[in-house]
Amino acid sequence: MTARSVFLSAALLLALLAGLFGCSRKPVNKAPIQKYKMEGEVIRVDPGYQVAVIKHKDIDGWMKAMTMDYTVRSKEDFSKLHPGDHIFATVFVQGDEFWVGDVRNAP
């Protein structure tokens, strides 16, 4: 194998890798954001991922009552969540993404 063919092979490999990594960006979600009111109980929180497990009542127009993980994008909202808290919040839904915000502790 000549130096020229090694160089061309390496250049081709780098071009392919650059193409793969350049195309691997997450597409921008342009779906409209829907908002739903939630009432529930915080079961546990995971500060490492800023996720809360919430056992919620029916969310009118979106989901039946269940317990599931919710991402909480705002650090301020996440700081309001503690296991055992009864909360009111908003579930934001955009396409196949969803998260919780506008967290308020129930009286």
Domain extent at residue 96: 33-105
Q: Supply 100's token pair.
A: 């919780």
pLDDT at 25: 62
| pTM given for the model | 0.74
Is residue 37, in this structure, part of any structural domain at all? yes
| Of 34, 33, 35, residue with least CA distance to 90 | 35
Report whether 37 contacts 59 (CB < 8 A).
Answer: yes
**CATH number of the domain that residue 53 is part of:** 2.40.50.320
Q: Does residue 16 form part of some domain?
A: no
Q: Is residue 44 part of a domain?
A: yes
Determine, yes or no, domain membership for 63. yes
Q: What is the pLDDT of residue 18?
A: 56
Q: Is 12 a domain residue? A: no
Cβ atoms of 83 and 42 within 8 Å: the answer is: yes
Note the pLDDT tens digit of each residue in 28-41: 788 999 999 999 99
64 assigned to some structural domain: yes
Q: In this predicted structure, what is the pLDDT of residue 16?
A: 54
Establish if 4 belongs to a structural domain: no
Give how many domains the chain has, as a whole number: 1
Is residue 21 one of the residues assigned to a domain?
no
Please write the tens of the pLDDT for every residue from 52-98.
999 999 999 999 999 999 999 999 999 999 999 999 999 999 999 99
